[in-house]
Amino acid sequence: MTELGAASMLRADERVKVLADGDLELAEVIVVVEESVNAQVFAFLREVRARSRRESPPRCVIVTGQVRPDVLMTAIECGMAALLQVGKTDSADLVRTVLAVSKGEANLPPLFQGSLLSQLDRMRRDVLEPNGLTLAGPTERERDVLRLLAEGYGTEEIAVKLTYSAGTVKNVLYGLMTRYGLNSRAHAVAFALRNGVI
């Protein structure tokens, strides 16, 4: 499969509109067909996403002959939502995947799913946890403070209930509010409720 072949396959389906290269800033889904996924592919995807005029940047379907598992996180950072193999992808697979990605779905081969989960676990263990962070967002300490804050307790009361100092409670809230761009304690509680943190 080539880039022209993929465009032809997609044009054949009335549910898909293929844009000209000059209109990429309007793309909802980008399809990249390359023999291997490398720094040039990532640079292209970053550029297209940066120039996007859509509310959220486009997601990407990569059709390739080879990709190394160690570049998965970079590919996801660049918007990859689906990965297809060149020799095993027909027009029906491509169209189905593009439509699924446009609806927010993802499609990664099982081998890469396992590799991605391993990379996420390493990131959690080596980067997030040593800094008091979690993949799920706020730390347990932050959730405890937010829960009590939502119940109407003040700083001193929270400190007593959690056996922290008042300064620690303030630092926990300050760190959380700074990290998530929250303006006030009420905003922090609203954020926690909206995101299922408490």
Handedness of CA 129, 132, 136, 137 (dihedral sign): negative
The pTM is what? 0.64
Q: What is the pLDDT of residues 107-163, one digit of tens each?
A: 888 878 888 888 888 888 888 777 666 676 788 889 899 999 999 999 999 999 999
Per-domain residue ranges of the chain: 3-124, 136-194
Asked if the 3-124 domain carries CATH number 3.90.79.10, the reply is no
The CATH class of the 136-194 domain is mainly alpha
Q: Residue 98's pLDDT band (boundaries 50, 70, 90)?
A: very high
- Pull the structure tokens for residue 173: 């809230």
CB 108 within 8 A of CB 82: yes
pLDDT at 68: 80
For residue 31, which of 55, 50, 14, 6 has the smallest C-alpha distance?
6
